[in-house]
Amino acid sequence: MGQRALFVLTSHGELGDTGRPTGFHLGETSLPWQELTAAGHRIDLASVEGGRPPMVGHDPEQPSEVAFLADPLVQVALGTTIPADEVDPGNYRLVYFVGGHGGMWDFHGNSVLHTIARSVYEAGGVVAAICHGPAVLVDLELSDGSRLVTGKWVTSFPEVDEAARGLDIVVPFSLQGALEDSGAFYSSGPDKTAHVVTDGRLITGQNPASAAKLARCLVDVWNR
């Protein structure tokens, strides 16, 4: 019998002061959604502010994204995401923080999101994040005051790839550097290739290319 998972999306829609849009990454949402629902699990969508969050990364040539957006259940869920401060963490065995640059602004240091992740993790559940989603993990403390990532292997969007896109001077901090400063062991692969790190019940992916592999890891870890 399936269990419940929570996908958390950013509500931040502006890429610094560039005038360019940002938001949650569609491909990083659709592939894990499809993999988990195919395995019989139920997924709820939340966002920092609730309602319809801003979206980026749509590729109309990707059948998985087209099917995801055409799903009537997805249409309702995306239009009415649960505000993070109304989430009951006790309902979920997995929480997944979807990427998109927006998370660099409203995931980092967010005490409401920290409570959700801490509650799920300490109840024996899985915490996952991809690309810029790991911004939520930077200063996330467990109940004993230790940081979740300290002494654990993680990945995220790397400094070198941020710089290659000219965004290292746009984002508010270095995600890789902040994770390392929090005591995490950091690893990454080549740009635009799949790289996923599993350390117990903490699963992180490097970039959009990692979404399919991360989705499979979520199912594998959750079914253990």
Query: Which tens digit of pLDDT belongs to each residue from 124-176?
Result: 999 999 999 999 999 999 999 999 999 999 999 999 999 999 999 999 999 99
pLDDT at 3: 83
CB-side exposure of 162: number of CA atoms within 13 Å? 22
State the chain's mean pLDDT as an integer: 96
What are the distances in angstroms from CA 120 to CA 3, 33, 117, 149?
Answer: 13, 19, 5, 15
- Please determine, for residue 82, whether its predicted confidence score (pLDDT) is greater than 70: yes
pLDDT at 113: 98
Query: Which tens digit of pLDDT belongs to each residue from 47-72?
Result: 999 999 999 989 899 898 999 999 99
pLDDT at 221: 84
Torsion of CA 140, 5, 216, 99, to 10 degrees: -50
What amino acid occupies position 157?
F
Q: Which residues contact 144 (CB under 8 A, 6 or more apart)?
A: none
The CA distance from 137 to 22, in Å, is 20
Query: Which tens digit of pLDDT belongs to each residue from 9-27?
Result: 999 999 999 999 999 999 9
Phi, psi of 35 (to 5 degrees): -65, -45
